[in-house]
Amino acid sequence: MRTLGTGAERDEAAALVQDRQRWLTMRGLPVPARADIPALFRDPQAMPAGLFEDERLLACVVPQRSPDLGWGQGPSLFLSCIHTLPDGADDTIRLITLWASDFAARRDLPLVRAEALARHPLDVDPIAPFLRRLTDMGWDVRGSGTGQHEERVARLELIAEQRSGLSALIACRVHEPQSSADNRTVS
């Protein structure tokens, strides 16, 4: 897992986002209404990160430190705009879950938060099977409501936990996530 440091890596992430959105659309699953998400991954100021395996980008995300989400109290690592390659998403999400839990704990953040688009009540929404898989991975569904980008979402929390030995599976070269409170890099 590393910060996307080059224009080529950020362009690759933007292409991954577009591919994932097409895949979701073809299956009738919720797609973000924001058209500028690929552009977000091209912006070096957003400090997007990517999960790579043998230099192949498997997923991308924008890690943020304690943004004002309008839900959830206290500090957290927020995983904004998570996108994975369409194939193998469960294994990729499992790796991101392990990494995020460890990354947050090592920064003295008690929780990881994320949002998943949800257009209907969570138990009948097309993403219900995905939410059940996340729950099996340790995530707690904290209800639904308006998300960071003014869309209806399922709210997710994960307890931060240092995982010794994880570096043998996932190397971490991610910059400290920015705080929404001061909009500068936290040291």
Mean pLDDT estimate for the chain? 85
Alpha-carbon distance 40 to 101, whole Å? Answer: 24
Alpha-carbon distance 10 to 44, whole Å? Answer: 8
Alpha-carbon distance 175 to 149, whole Å? Answer: 23
pLDDT for 185: 33
Shortest CA distance to 89 belongs to which of 128, 123, 133, 122? 133
Residues 4, 41 contacting (CB under 8 angstroms): yes
Alpha-carbon distance 159 to 28, whole Å? Answer: 31
Tens digits of per-residue pLDDT, 103-131?
999 999 999 999 988 877 777 777 788 88
Alpha-carbon distance 11 to 126, whole Å? Answer: 30
- The mean pLDDT of 69-75, rounded to a whole number, is 86
Q: Which helix (H) or strand (E) holds 98?
A: helix 89-106
CATH for the stretch 2-179: 3.40.630.30
For the CA atoms of 100, 112, 57, 149, what is the dihedral angle to 10 degrees? -170
Alpha-carbon distance 148 to 68, whole Å? Answer: 8
In this predicted structure, the answer to whether residue 79 has a pLDDT above a threshold of 50 is: yes
- 40 or 173, which is more confident: 40
Give SS3 for 4: coil
pLDDT for 4: 94
